[in-house]
Amino acid sequence: MTLYEGDLRVPADARFAILASRWNARITDALVAGARRCLAENGVAEDAVDVVRLPGAWELPVAAQRLASGGGHQALIVLGCVVRGDTRHYEHVADLCAEGLMRVALDTGVPVLNGVLAVEKVEDAEARAGGSHGNKGEEAALAALEMVNLLERLR
């Protein structure tokens, strides 16, 4: 039996993009900081990372599609924060954003790591943006590194 598994080593010329919504900026800024820190700590040069800021989570899939189709990035780390409100708007945005991001990954073959938080209240987001539940931006960046390595091995 052959086992294929990725690790955190990436090709020297690998480029990454971090896409992040500005909506709930206090949360998304912390997620971006975690992702950037993780990439740097794992040997990815700052000039090999592009950061793209967008208005909200709804806009993330279309920007991800453009970047993934361009071929300049080995993985996209997508970050945002959708907090439940009093209407169904939350479900539409969170669910369709996730579906759009998966479609981009499947259509292009570029790993698209979904670090868009969908939470009940702001305190839940704070816990996942550097609080008691860690930093989901960092976790998405680690997954991006592993996926780039794994896809290289699967060639």
**Percentage of the chain modeled with pLDDT above 70:** 99
Per-residue pLDDT at 19: 98
Strand ranges for 84-132 from DSSP E = 112-119, 129-131
The C-alpha atoms of residue 153 and residue 41 are separated, in whole angstroms, by 22
Task: Classify residue 25: in a domain, yes or no.
Answer: yes
Is 86 within any annotated ligand binding site? yes
As a whole number of Å, the CA-based R_g of the chain is 15
Question: In sequence order, which residues have a C-beta less than 8 Å from that of residue 57 and are 6 or more positions away?
Answer: 21, 23, 80, 81, 82, 93, 94, 97, 116
Is 7 within any annotated ligand binding site? no
Task: Classify residue 128: in a domain, yes or no.
Answer: yes
What number is the average pLDDT over the span 58-75? 97
13 backbone dihedrals φ, ψ, rounded to 5°? -95, 10
Query: Residue 92 has which token pair?
Result: 């539409």
Task: Classify residue 5: in a domain, yes or no.
Answer: no
Q: In what order do the strands lie in the sheet with 75-83?
A: 49-54, 16-21, 75-83, 112-119
Sorting pLDDT into bands at 50, 70 and 90, what band is 75? very high
Q: Is a pLDDT exceeding 80 seen at residue 87? A: no
Per-residue pLDDT at 9: 84
73 is catalytic: no
Is 9 within any annotated ligand binding site? no
What number is the average pLDDT over the span 80-98? 84
Q: What is the extent of the structural domain holding 65? A: 16-154
Count of the separate structural domains present in the chain: 1
The C-alpha atoms of residue 51 and residue 56 are separated, in whole angstroms, by 15
The C-alpha atoms of residue 81 and residue 115 are separated, in whole angstroms, by 9
Q: Is a pLDDT exceeding 70 seen at residue 86? A: no
What single-letter DSSP state applies at residue 81? Answer: E
Choose the catalytic residue: 73, 89, 92, 133: 89
The CATH number of whichever domain residue 63 belongs to comes to: 3.40.50.960
Task: Classify residue 8: in a domain, yes or no.
Answer: no
Sorting pLDDT into bands at 50, 70 and 90, what band is 108? very high
